[in-house]
């Protein structure tokens, strides 16, 4: 994902949340990484959110899609849809 997909002069916390997985997987372009890191430099709440996210990844690891029931898969899809439709805020 690129910063152009989030055309804001300055990232807000919601943008960081939306880009976090790509950022942690190294899938963001240089401009996006710089914007995210600039936001993190000035936002202690987002720094804590990223630390918690990294800790969760380390503790949980990877869950194979085929190990999830159809109901669980559908519940996750619905949760992500609701998240993406939620009003934007300036803190995580």
Half-sphere exposure of 20 (CA within 13 A, CB side): 20
pLDDT at 79 > cutoff 80 = yes
pLDDT at 8: 45
pLDDT at 82 > cutoff 90 = no
* pLDDT single digits (tens) 23-75: 998 999 999 999 999 999 999 999 999 999 999 888 877 778 788 899 998 98
> Buried b vs exposed e over 1-21: b needs ≥16 C-beta within 10 Å?
eebeebeeeebbbbbbbbbbe
* pLDDT single digits (tens) 4-32: 554 444 788 988 998 998 999 899 999 99
CA torsion sign for 83, 18, 43, 52 is positive
């Amino acid at each position: 994902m690129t910063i152009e997909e989030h055309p804001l002069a300055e990232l807000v916390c919601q943008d960081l949340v939306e880009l976090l997985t790509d950022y942690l997987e190294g899938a963001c372009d240089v401009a996006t990484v710089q914007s995210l890191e600039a936001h993190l430099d000035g936002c202690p709440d987002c720094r804590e959110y990223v630390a918690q996210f990294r800790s969760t990844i380390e503790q949980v690891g990877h869950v194979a899609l085929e190990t999830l029931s159809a109901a669980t898969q559908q519940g996750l899809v619905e949760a992500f849809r609701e998240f993406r439709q939620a009003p934007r805020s300036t803190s995580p």
